[in-house]
A and B are shown apart, each in its own frame.
Chain A
Amino acid sequence: MNNRIKSFFYLSLLMVFTFLTIISIGPEIKKTIFPLIILTLSIIACIAKLVALVKPSWGKVIDPESILEGIDRSSPTPTDKEGEINKDLSNRVVTVKLSLITVILWIFLTVIIFYLVGLVVGAGISTIIYMSVICKEKWTISIVTAIFLSIAIYLGFNIALKSPLYPGLLFEKLL
């Protein structure tokens, strides 16, 4: 990930923190003392980070590596190498990789569907859309999975837990 994108990110954070600081200053400052302290520190941290990105030589001093020395820095989660022991070398099909935008759009769509038809039916529809439309899986599999999922959620929440789930605008109007 290049420095440009990183700088943009920290700049955005800086703007958010500054905005929050501005709205925090007001007549009743007592209630925002703690937030203001934290916001100030955050702004300083963002600026420091931006400086470190722009001027790498300064960066080493301002932004030292943490005390966790001597580990694989390239990833915060286990790398392939570290998980080697359990890998089976037989061939498995790597499934479709998706883009971030697609996934986020799908999640938003899911929430909208929840609002419209409720959580139970929405879970099923969301599943079908993901599996068949996005991942291009066979329709029969996705429909079956969706139905099982919806039934499980319905039984589990509405019946067993007596925790009535949002029925959605559509069903509310009908009832």
Chain B
Amino acid sequence: MGYNALSALKILMQFDSILYLIGGGLFGMLAGLIPGLSGSTAIILLIPLTFGMDPNQAFLTLVSAYGASTVGGSLTAIIIGVPGQGKNAATVFDGFPMSQKGQAAEAVGAAAASSAYGGIFGALVLAFLIPVMRQVVLLFGPPEFLMLAVWGLSVIGVLTGRYLINGLIAVFIGLLLSFVGFNPVVGGIRYTFGSMYLWDGISMASVFIGFFAVSIVIDLAIKGVPIAGSRAKIHNAFKKMLVGLMAPIRHFALFIRCSAIGTIIGMIPGVGGIVAAFLAYGHAVQSSKDKSMFGKGDIRGVIGPESSNNSSAGGAMVPLLAFGIPGGEATALMLGALMIHGISPGAQMLKNHLTLVWVMIGALILSNIMASLVAVLAAPQLVKVTTISPEYLVPIILSVSLVGSYSFHHRMFDVVVTVIMGILGYILKRFDIPTAPVVIAYILGSIMEKSFFRTLQIGRGSFMVFFHRPIAITLLLITTITLMWPYVSSALKRRRKTNSISNKGEGA
């Protein structure tokens, strides 16, 4: 194994390898940046270019694009509040408010650093897991997914903002949005009102771009002031960004935990970076004593999702390499690319092409670092966008976002849905219904429902099968504690208050 690692290193150090690494990475960053496009888009476009290359170089290009795309997506998420890709959506929750406070540079620094370190974490885990990859992937099945989704939903119950019921309604709306379409587990088309285009549900790009981009556009247009406020000027952007770079180190334990969450979730086929980012964000909120600034620009709300969505890339490659079963869309494309180059993933690949595996791991690490460097260098200029007058920003963001939502499936229908979602998102915000839970519930809702019914199917109609699975039960316990904790702690607080009041009363 060591020999292969060394020869992989030699390959990576070659001049043309570095060129491909940078090229693929930049391309991936650009694709990640533009809402509606993603790292997968970059991979699709790069695959034909890699036909003529030898497998090592082909894959270092593709993996590089994959790794770098997440960083690209974080830039738009923070600066204009529109996630470049789905997995950067959670970064908007605290990254954009930081922009609004004029702290965009610091946020970008934190995101870049978290992405780089998180990506390295994921790649290292990938490397260490090589001998035991297969067992790890097999640990998770529908009961575990069900509990993960439920845990995720309970965590966002924590993020309800102002009023409890408002937060619950937000979750319900998100869940209802996710129920539209054909359900492949139970069968049956729901709430499509006859439209064939809603068969697959409301397109994810429409929900994200609508809730984030279009809502922001309406907001900016109405307020008439730049993102960072009417009198903001960006001083010392570079210095502030350096402060941000150190953020993951300052919150090291959180960073490690979130990277771990990302890697593990990434390993689960079909779940992927988006869920990893949301769960990490929820965990960041949950695990902090002072939750008051979350949603208003708490830097931990940037560290969590960004380290997790980058580390999930490493995780997603685990089932791909171990079984040839992709962990998500991007890895599905890589599977196709592997087949085109005549390589069968699985135990064969680990035996015969171990060098290639190391090259891919190396490319993941290097591309994350490179993308973060680029982000950091470009940041001082990019954050100036937060001071541009909305007259320019509004039409540009609207057009690019709507074009992006079109490109997802090449359907004009999606554009209309995006606009509707945007208006819905704005209305909800005006009535104090937080949009973060809506988006999270939209993603987790379908996972939860499908996993629930699959668990029943595995148990042939009985849910008892759930109780034979240790991981699922552990997650259930964690979820219960999460849900009960707020009530318990506030009850304890009230107890203490009344005790001290009665004590005071007696002393008077």
Contact = CB atoms under 8 A, between A and B. Distances in A.
A38 B190 CA distance: 14
A54 interface: no
A155 B405 CA distance: 17
Interface string B325-362: 00000000000000000000000000000000000000
Nearest to A65: B163
Interface secondary structure of A, over-half rule: helix
Interface stretch (B54-62, B109-117, B228-236, B271-279): B228-236
Interface stretch (B166-174, B252-260, B301-309, B365-373): B166-174
Interface residues of B, number: 87
A97 B399 contact: no
Contact of A45 (B101, B169, B214, B389): B169
A96 B176 contact: no
Nearest to B390: A95
B400 A153 contact: yes
A156 B168 CA distance: 41
Contacts of A9: 427, 431
Interface secondary structure of B, over-half rule: helix
Given A66-B162, A83-B100, A95-B391, A114 B434 contact: no
Contacts of A32: 188, 190
Contacts of B395: 123, 126-127, 130-131, 145, 149
B399 A165 contact: no
Contacts, number: 229
Contacts of B422: 107
Interface residues of A, number: 82
A115 B419 CA distance: 14
Contact of A31 (B167, B187, B390): B187
B295 A126 contact: no
A140 interface: no
B97 interface: yes
A66 B222 contact: no
Interface string B98-130: 001111000000000000000000000000000
A45 B165 contact: yes
A108 B418 CA distance: 11
29 contacts: A20-B176, A31-B188, A32-B190, A34-B449, A35-B190, A38-B179, A62-B165, A63-B163, A66-B160, A66-B162, A66-B167, A67-B291, A76-B162, A76-B432, A77-B97, A78-B101, A85-B103, A86-B228, A94-B224, A95-B225, A96-B224, A97-B222, A98-B222, A100-B218, A119-B403, A123-B400, A123-B403, A153-B400, A157-B403
